[in-house]
């Protein structure tokens, strides 16, 4: 979960939209997939990239997989960016 994988994950607009949806709280995979006009497999791949970068976490509740934002990784990126600005 290095900075490079985090920035790569953030570079895609679909993945940024997934993060925006999750900032409102945890959501099941099916509900996330229903928000996009692409296959479930494509959304699953985006979720996998975000998870590999540490930006989201998942947990199983019965037959559902629930995704939630992992804000600690975002905070690290923001601190790094502020350091570049000299804040």
> 87 pLDDT band (50/70/90 cuts)?
low
Number of domains in the chain: 1
Residue 1 pLDDT > 80: no
Residues 64 and 79: their CA atoms lie apart, in Å, by: 34
pLDDT at residue 74 in the model? 82
Query: What does the pLDDT look like over 27-60, one tens digit per residue?
Result: 999 999 999 999 999 999 999 999 999 999 999 9
Domain ranges, residue 13: 3-85
- The CATH number assigned to the domain holding 27 equals 1.10.10.10
Residue 13 pLDDT > 70: yes
């Amino acid at each position: 979960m290095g900075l490079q994988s985090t920035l790569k994950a953030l570079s895609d607009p679909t993945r940024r939209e997934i993060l925006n949806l999750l900032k409102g709280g945890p959501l099941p995979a099916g509900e996330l997939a229903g928000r996009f006009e692409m296959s479930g497999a494509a959304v699953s791949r985006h979720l996998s990239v975000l998870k590999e970068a540490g930006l989201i976490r998942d947990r199983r509740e019965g037959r559902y997989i629930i995704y939630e934002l992992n804000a600690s990784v975002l905070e690290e990126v923001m601190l790094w960016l502020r350091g570049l600005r000299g804040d």
